[in-house]
Structures are given as structure tokens and as C-alpha cells.
Amino acid sequence: MKLVETPLAGVLVLEAEPARDERGYFLHTYSEEVHSLLPQIAEGAVSWNETRGTLRGLHFQHAPHGEAKIVRCSRGAIYDVALDLQTGRWFAIELSRDNFKMLFIPAGLAHGYMTLQDDSEVSYLLSGGYKPEAGGGVRWDDPAFRIDWPMRPLRLSERDRNWPYVNR
């Protein structure tokens, strides 16, 4: 597993190398290197998205319930975004079943993604359990952040549509 730094402090791209043979491939998604980033896994989760253009986010949990996460697209493809709410800086990467990349997002950052293909599935490893009372979010299209999404969302939950704008 190769850990690659990004321009956003603490956010890492995890590049896994599958072992391939005539049957297909075998892929390690958690290793000693990853354990140093996420030594305690409190939850694992999966999100399935029927259609391209589905946007989920931008979500975070307020302190002291922040959670670090490792995000992997196990089917389809997504445009994955980590956002530092303190600086307004963000990092985005395409994660797909075919590129074997994952994204590590430290606690305290917001996270969201947009599906690039129909039938996309996203897997998470999380350092903390979800606490509804600590959940928060910001708008995907907030001009304070100027995130360069690949398209306007075709599907968006009412909750995500109504997150507040941040005043900077």
C-alpha cells in the first residue's frame, strides 16, 4: 500500500496494488500502513447510488465526535471531495473500482462525493460511530469554497440541498 500526500494537510491517497491472476485479483484494503492512520475502526459502512450525478455531502461531525475515514469506491466511480472548513481549501480525486485508490480523510474535515457512473457503491471505514446530534454539513455549491464539481447534481437529498452557506 502506497500512501501519497495531497495538497490538503492530513488527507492522503491510498494506492493499493492488486495481486492478479487468471481468477481475477486480490486486494488488501487495510494494512499496517493504514492502521497507523486509522488504528481503531468503530464502524464500516456502504453507500449504494443508483444513478450518475448523485451527490452526497458535504458532511462532518462536530467535535468531540469527529471521525477519520477511509473511503473506497468498490463499484462504479465517484468524484470524492475532502474540505477543510477552517481554511476553505479542498481536495478532490476520482475513486473507482478500476483505479484501486482510496482516500483517507482526518477527523474534522467535511466530506462529500458525486457519482460519475450509475450503480456506484462506496465503502467506508470510520474511526468513530455516527452521532446524529453531532452531524453537520455545508452546501455543495457554497461560493466560499468554489468546489469544482464535474456537473450539477442530478440527485440530492433534501437535507443536503438545505445545508447553510458559510459566511467567510
Q: Are 103 and 145 in contact (CB under 8 A)?
A: no
**Catalytic residue at 59?**
yes
Choosing from 59, 111, 113, 130, which is the catalytic residue?
59
Q: What is the 3-state secondary structure (H, E, C) of 7-69?
A: CCCCCEEEECCCEEECCEEECCCCCHHHHHHCCCCCEEEEEEECCCCEEEEEEEECCCCCCCE
Among 100, 116, 106, 52, CA closest to 83: 106
Q: Are 61 and 67 in contact (CB under 8 A)?
A: yes
Choosing from 79, 111, 113, 124, which is the catalytic residue?
124
Q: Are 95 and 101 in contact (CB under 8 A)?
A: yes
The position carrying cell 455543495 is 140
Q: How far apart are CA 36 and CA 160, in angstroms?
A: 32
**Catalytic residue at 62?**
no
Residues with a catalytic annotation lie at 59, 124
